[in-house]
Each structure stands twice: as structure tokens, then as C-alpha cells.
A and B are shown apart, each in its own frame.
Chain A
Amino acid sequence: MARLELDGLRKSFGATHVLHGVDLSVGDGEMLVIVGASGCGKSTLLRLVAGLDAPTSGRVKLDGNDITRLDPSERDMAMVFQNYALYPHMSVFDNMAYGLRIRGMSKGEIGRRVGEAASLLGLEASTLDRKPRQLSGGQRQRVAMGRAIVREPKLFLFDEPLSNLDAKLRVQMRAEIRKLQRRLGVTSLYVTHDQVEAMTLGDRLLVMHEGRPAQLATPLEVFERPADRYVAGFIGAPSMNFLDGELTGDGAAVCLKAGCALALPFRLTAGEKSVTVGIRPEYVETGRGDLRMQVDLVEPLGSETVVHGRLIGTDEDLVARIPGAVPSGEVMKLALPPQHLHLFERKSGRRILPSQPSASSDG
């Protein structure tokens, strides 16, 4: 069981800066999910921790020991890869046993560990003699997990391990990974681009954006209080709506392009007057209110309906998620409940914190 610390970790390839300095501390037994769009540096971060790449500067510490310069083989970590990276010419047993053999473990101990891992993962004994190409996607995934488990490492590294599976299997394996990680209590870093995976798996999330950590918090916190406009837009589906607004002089309300003043549950006196107002589609209320939307597209999903449209009098699009079926009509009345509004500085995209917290906080 171990504690991982990253200290000002940077990585550049020539003039391209991939990571701009990441500080992170992962507690013993914690599952930390690193999430972000492709190219945000999340995989690079994982590879630096694994020792597959050397950082340009900064340090990696495991249980307080500086391991930045150690070879992957000396780090006592195991990794599960996106394409599983099973050795195609070895049987399932040998795939799992390979790392143990290299470490000179006795035959009996190898057999015991592989057997335990196999039963833990629900791999039948007959599977152990097969070659990877004879296995289904789900089985391969399990073998890749098994290869990591048998090592009994200090740290698990997951590099998008579920993205090669079909949707149904992905949901199932997601739950299995979570249960397994809890049970084994091994500190884990899990990289994914899938926000649902991130939300459901992580004790905490690290949202990466363009090589920088955008937010590090629990899943709920990230959802309810996104640190900036990027995180707000990245987490949640359909994405949060963003509308341009101007704070009124007293900071008690915000004016939208559509022309109405929204009273805020708190007073914003300091800072920028130009803001971006965010609201999640599920909190948009329809059938009442002063805003009007020209409906472009209605997507019935059964239990709910997603409506796409444009606010009348503006060029701003809006998406609303409404329970049940949608009332017909081309123009729809809308209301944006103040307690569900998120405010961001228009220029920097940073979240604006209320200067005096209100009783009815969002969520």
C-alpha cells in the first residue's frame, strides 16, 4: 500500500510542452481518475509515473522515496493497457506469470498467485492454457487485470483499459474494476477520456486541460462546482449551456443577451462585470419564464426529452433536458432557476465565487 506524490512534473518534446507542471498527492488505497480530452497530457502523466518516459523536470515520489530516475522494472507498479498488450505467443498463465518469473519467484508461489488472481477475476482454469487470440474481449481485459494483480504492486496504473470493449461489457467491467480495487485496496491511477467512467470510478478526479490540471476534487464537487468553464463543459452530458451575460451595477443580477435580468442568490460586487452564465440542461425549466426559445430539434429518449433550440433575439443556442414527453410548439418558454446558475469570468473562464455565500447553494 502506498502513497504517490508528484512534484512539479513537466514534460516537453522539443518545443512542444505536453505537461506544464503537475503537483499531485494520491493517498494510500485511493483511486484517482485522470480525465480529459485527447491530447490533454493525461497519458503522458501516467507514463511518467510508470517510468516509461522521463520527465523534463519535477519528481515522482512513492512512499516518500524519489523514484523519478528508476527503471519501470524497479518501481513496483503494474499497468493495464488500453489494447491489453498481452503477449500473443504466451498462454494466459504465462502472460500472468511472466513478471513473476523475471523476479525469480518460485514455481509454487507463481502458481498460487496466478490461481488466486484467476478465481478473483472469474477466469476458468481452462482459460489459463489458451492463447490471447482465442479469448473474447472481456476475457482479455480480465487477463490484463490479472497480470497486474499477481504482481501485488504498490500502485496500479490503468491506461483507458475499457475503451476497446463494447458498451455493455464496459459498464460491467467498470463495476468489477471498482469492486476489485476497493477489495485489494491498492493505490490506483486511472486514465480515461470517458466522463461517466471518471465519475463512477474515482475517489477523486483530476481533470486535465492542455497539459495543466484544471481541477482536482471529488466527482460530485467537480460536477457541482466546476473550477472553470472548461471543466463545467467537459463533465456532464449533454454539456452545460453557456450564455454571455453582464453583471448589473449592484452585482445582484445578471443581464443576458436575450434581455432579461436574472436575480442572483448572492451578491457579486468585486471583479469583472462581463461573465459567462452556465446552466446544466437538466435544470432548465420549460413552460414558464421570460426567455423564449426557437426549437430546432427534439430528441425523445423515453423517460425524458432533449430539446435543442436558439434563444429568440440572440445567436445563442441552448439545450434543455425535460422529464417526460415534450409539449408541442415551435417556441418554448424557458426559465433559468438562479440557484442552478454557474458564473464564470468571461475572459479567464474561472469560476466566480460568491462574495457572500447564500443559503440556497446550487445542486
Chain B
Amino acid sequence: MERRTIFPGRLLPAALVAPQLLLTVVFFVWPALHACWMSLHSEDPFGLASVFVGFDNYAALFGDPLYIATVARTIVFCFAVASISMLVALPLAVFADADIRGRAVYRTLLIWPYAVAPALAAVLWILLVHPQIGLLGRPLDRLLSLAGGHWDYKLNGGQALLVVVLASAWKQVSYNFIFLLAGLQSIPRAVIEAAQVDGARGWRRFRTILLPLLSPTLFFLLIVNLVYAAFDTFGTIQAMTQGGPAQATQTLVVKVFRDGHDNGDLGSSSAQSVVLMLGVIALTAAQFRFLGRQRH
């Protein structure tokens, strides 16, 4: 899309984009290229010199069963977070779109959690599910102990993954709610009325009219949620489990942070970064191809 009229001049626009461009190149493009370079090199044990090693870092990465397990875990984690938060948000949006009393109040009360920081979501959930102090954790532990089990996400990997998924999905519900509600509101009133005239009501109307018309929004949200689950949940996981117990809740981002920042393994961490970048690029491309198709 282009404008019909523009201002003349070349120096002014160049000056206007300069700050943004400078920040982008220094803090985004350069580090990304540096990551690519580092991923092809290895430092000697004293960190004094780096040697070109080709794709050795990548080979080591994909030869490492722990890394493969982390990739698989991240994929499961992302889809679990995305689907749970969308499944919870969908009925809320559908009913908040309905013509009922107090609609505006409900909307407000479902929108504010957008503001909760991922790391704070973890703190809230700790107080719910903590085996000793949690409001739900304590009864749950008692219940499980009847069957000879225990509720302790600090020790049990499966339980840890569950609570991290729930806390991450919980934080994302209101984002999905906002978009689904907007999607529902953009469906032309006439279409709904036509469906009413045709006798479609309740569940049938939802399944045959609303859901198909909402599918572009749902796809958009799926991608956004996957990206959120992959990257923005670092704070949630770090605050709740630090990726533990063992590596039960370690996602790719947590691992990059561990290996690169905490352990200083630059080669491997950079290779992981490059793999992640390819992942984001693939997701973004999917999203924009889809949006492009929508427009035509």
C-alpha cells in the first residue's frame, strides 16, 4: 500500500528512521549475525582463542539426547499452553459477546489479567499449588496420599510440567479473550440474523456459523500463543521451577539461558540461538503467508 501524495525531501526521512535503524542494527541484527558466527566456532578451554569448527556445534547439539528431549518437551509445552488458553478463552468470549446483563463488567474483569507479568503469574500459582502452603496444593497432596502418591511439583517432573503449563496458559487467557471477542464482534450482525432466520441456535449456531467465521482469528492466535509459550514463559518457568526437577520443565529458551549465561558455553548456546531464530522465522512466515492469503 502506498500513499498518493508524499512530502518531498530525502534527508529528513533518513534522519527520522535513523534512531530506529541504529537500535535495530546494534542490538538485533549484529547480535544475531554474531550468534551465527559463534555457532560455527569453538573457544579453547581458557576462552583465549576461538577456532572455526564448521557445523560441529550443531552436530553435537542434535547428537545430544538431552537437547532432542528439550525440543520435544518445548513443542509439547507450547501446544499444551496454546490449546488450553484458547479453549478456556473461547467460551468466555462467546458468552461475553452474547446479549446479557453486565456484559461490560464481565469484559473488564476478564481483560485485566493481560497486565500480569509472566513471572508474577508464577508467584500467584505457587500460592495455589505449593504442596505445603498452596490453597489447592495441600488438599491435593492429601487426596493423592490416599492413593499412596504425593503432590509435589518440586520433586515430580510430570506434576511440575503440569503446573508450569497451567500457570503459563492462565496468564495468556485474557489475551486470547480480547482477540476472540473482537473477532466475534467483527462478524456482521446480518450473518447472525440470517442464521437465526434459518433456525440455527445455540451449539449448532456456534459450530456452523461462529466457529468457521472465527477460524482466521483462531489461526492467528495459535501462532501468537506458540510464540508466547516458546519465549515469554521464561519468567514463569524460572520463578516456579527453574527448569527442574531434573530437566522436566526445561524449554529451549531456559536451556539457552542456562548454557549461555550461567555455564558460558558460547558455541553450543549460539547454535541453539540460531536454531531458535529459524523457529521464529518459520512461525512468523507462516503467520504472514496466512495473513497475506486472507487479504486476497
In-complex A–B contact (CB below 8 Å) = yes
Asked whether A71 lies within 8 Å of B8 as measured between CB atoms, the reply is yes
B12 CB, min distance to chain A CBs, angstroms? 14
- Measured between beta carbons, the chain A residues less than 8 angstroms from B8 are 71
Report if A53 contacts B (CB, 8 A): yes
Nearest to B5 among chain A residues (CB) is A52
B82 CB, min distance to chain A CBs, angstroms? 40
Nearest to B8 among chain A residues (CB) is A71
- Measured between beta carbons, the chain A residues less than 8 angstroms from B5 are 47, 52-53
How many A-B pairs have beta carbons closer than 8 Å: the answer is 4
How many Å lie between the Cα of A47 and that of B4 in the bound state?
11
A71 CB, min distance to chain B CBs, angstroms? 7
| Between-chain CB contacts (< 8 Å), 4 pairs | A47-B5, A52-B5, A53-B5, A71-B8
Which residues from chain A sit less than 8 Å from chain B, CB to CB?
Answer: 47, 52-53, 71
- Measured between beta carbons, the chain B residues less than 8 angstroms from A52 are 5
B3 CB, min distance to chain A CBs, angstroms? 11
A251 CB, min distance to chain B CBs, angstroms? 51
Q: How large is the interface on B (under 10, 10 to 19, 20 to 34, 35 or more residues)?
A: under 10
Nearest to B7 among chain A residues (CB) is A71
Which residues from chain B sit less than 8 Å from chain A, CB to CB?
Answer: 5, 8
Q: Which 4 A-B pairs have the closest CB atoms?
A: A52-B5, A53-B5, A71-B8, A47-B5
How many Å lie between the Cα of A44 and that of B5 in the bound state?
11
How many Å lie between the Cα of A363 and that of B105 in the bound state?
73
How many Å lie between the Cα of A53 and that of B5 in the bound state?
7
A228 CB, min distance to chain B CBs, angstroms? 30
- Measured between beta carbons, the chain B residues less than 8 angstroms from A53 are 5
Nearest to A53 among chain B residues (CB) is B5
How many Å lie between the Cα of A47 and that of B8 in the bound state?
15
A45 CB, min distance to chain B CBs, angstroms? 14
A72 CB, min distance to chain B CBs, angstroms? 9
B198 CB, min distance to chain A CBs, angstroms? 35
A59 CB, min distance to chain B CBs, angstroms? 18
B249 CB, min distance to chain A CBs, angstroms? 50
How many Å lie between the Cα of A52 and that of B6 in the bound state?
8
How many Å lie between the Cα of A71 and that of B5 in the bound state?
12
How many Å lie between the Cα of A53 and that of B8 in the bound state?
10
How many Å lie between the Cα of A139 and that of B244 in the bound state?
69
How many Å lie between the Cα of A98 and that of B27 in the bound state?
42
How many Å lie between the Cα of A47 and that of B5 in the bound state?
10
Nearest to A52 among chain B residues (CB) is B5
How many Å lie between the Cα of A71 and that of B9 in the bound state?
12
Nearest to A50 among chain B residues (CB) is B5
How many Å lie between the Cα of A71 and that of B8 in the bound state?
9
How many Å lie between the Cα of A47 and that of B3 in the bound state?
14
How many Å lie between the Cα of A52 and that of B8 in the bound state?
10
How many Å lie between the Cα of A73 and that of B198 in the bound state?
59
B17 CB, min distance to chain A CBs, angstroms? 23
How many Å lie between the Cα of A326 and that of B5 in the bound state?
53
- Measured between beta carbons, the chain B residues less than 8 angstroms from A47 are 5
B1 CB, min distance to chain A CBs, angstroms? 16
Nearest to A71 among chain B residues (CB) is B8
Nearest to A43 among chain B residues (CB) is B4
B199 CB, min distance to chain A CBs, angstroms? 39
- Measured between beta carbons, the chain B residues less than 8 angstroms from A71 are 8
B7 CB, min distance to chain A CBs, angstroms? 10
How many Å lie between the Cα of A285 and that of B8 in the bound state?
59
Nearest to A54 among chain B residues (CB) is B8
A12 CB, min distance to chain B CBs, angstroms? 15
A188 CB, min distance to chain B CBs, angstroms? 21
A112 CB, min distance to chain B CBs, angstroms? 32
A233 CB, min distance to chain B CBs, angstroms? 30
How many Å lie between the Cα of A308 and that of B5 in the bound state?
45
How many Å lie between the Cα of A282 and that of B242 in the bound state?
90
B2 CB, min distance to chain A CBs, angstroms? 11
A282 CB, min distance to chain B CBs, angstroms? 40
How many Å lie between the Cα of A280 and that of B5 in the bound state?
41
